[in-house]
Chain A
Amino acid sequence: MPALPFYILSAITAGCALGTVALRNTVTAAFCLLGSLLGMSGLFVLLDAYLLAALLVLVYAGAIVALFVFIVMLLDVRGSDTRPATRVSLAAAGVAFAVLGAGLAVTFGRNLMATPAPLAEAPGLGASLKFYGEQLFTTYLLPVQIVGFLLLIAMLGVIVISKRFAPVEDAK
């Protein structure tokens, strides 16, 4: 597997991620998220998960980030204190970052995962849509149904939450 596309794409992804969390302007942060997503999509292609790459762009970038941008535009935040982060929270976040990093380093350092077979022997699995369809409708049918149900509930929840309730008039 060529290494160069991997490094480029990972640089894009990580860089845009940093941009998301660091930039002051919220709209710019949203677009950095979009960029990060595109990088991820590329990484998926490198991993032979072509369908997932397409889905990532379609669902995540196309719907979710679009929704984020909508909401950012809708909630026109002005007048309040718009510092991105207080100093205390930065320090605390840094400490948390360090803790997390240390944990991950320990996990990797102890070599807890067996090194798998070299990549070349692994067949390309993610190419055929037919295979996904088969799996989804046989082995994973129950999770599909449950997720469908979940989406229905989420839709209902959103409708209920975002209703403006008029004050109830006394019955005359």
Chain B
Amino acid sequence: MTVGLDQYLFLSALLFAIGFFGVLARRNAIVIFMSLELMLMASTLALVAFSRFNGTYSGNVFVFFILAIAAAEVAVGLAIIVALFRHRKTVMVDELNALKN
């Protein structure tokens, strides 16, 4: 059958849900970050699909910016994780609960 917008959107939603599951289920902070990237990618896919099927450019151009921002976010987030690791010698989020109460 022809691949329409619905299929792309379903795939995007599936990827988003998988990424969300990963954020909630994993204990390693780095893996949580990677799942976060999955979620971002899912949203870029949805954007490009919409842009393609509606015949406009704006979705594509927006993905540019999402890429740039994702890069910046990853850099800063990983720097924070490294700094945390230096202090606490762990990256498991259930052990990083010093802000309790």
Contact = CB atoms under 8 A, between A and B. Distances in A.
Contact of B19 (A10, A17, A37, A161): A17
B15 A85 contact: no
A6 B64 CA distance: 23
Contacts, number: 216
A157 B79 contact: yes
A106 B19 CA distance: 20
A96 B3 contact: no
Chain A interface size, under 10 / 10 to 19 / 20 to 34 / 35 or more: 35 or more
B76 interface: yes
Interface in A101-155: 101, 104, 108, 113, 115-119, 122-123, 125-126, 131-132, 135-136, 139-140, 143, 147, 150-151, 153-155
B73 to A, nearest CB: 8
A151 B25 contact: no
Contacts of A136: 61, 64
Interface in A3-23: 3, 6, 10, 13-14, 17-18, 20-21
B91 to A, nearest CB: 6
Interface string B20-34: 111011111011011
Interface residues of B, number: 73
A91 to B, nearest CB: 9
A139 B39 CA distance: 28
A75 B92 contact: no
B25 to A, nearest CB: 4
Interface of B: 1-11, 13-22, 24-28, 30-31, 33-35, 37-38, 41, 44-45, 48-49, 51-57, 60-61, 63-65, 67-76, 78-83, 85-86, 90-92, 94-95
By Cβ-Cβ distance, the 9 closest A-B pairs, closest first, are A21-B22, A154-B72, A93-B24, A93-B25, A158-B79, A161-B79, A116-B53, A104-B13, A85-B25
17 contacts: A36-B41, A49-B52, A52-B48, A56-B67, A64-B71, A71-B81, A75-B82, A83-B27, A86-B94, A117-B55, A125-B52, A126-B60, A136-B61, A143-B65, A150-B72, A151-B68, A158-B75
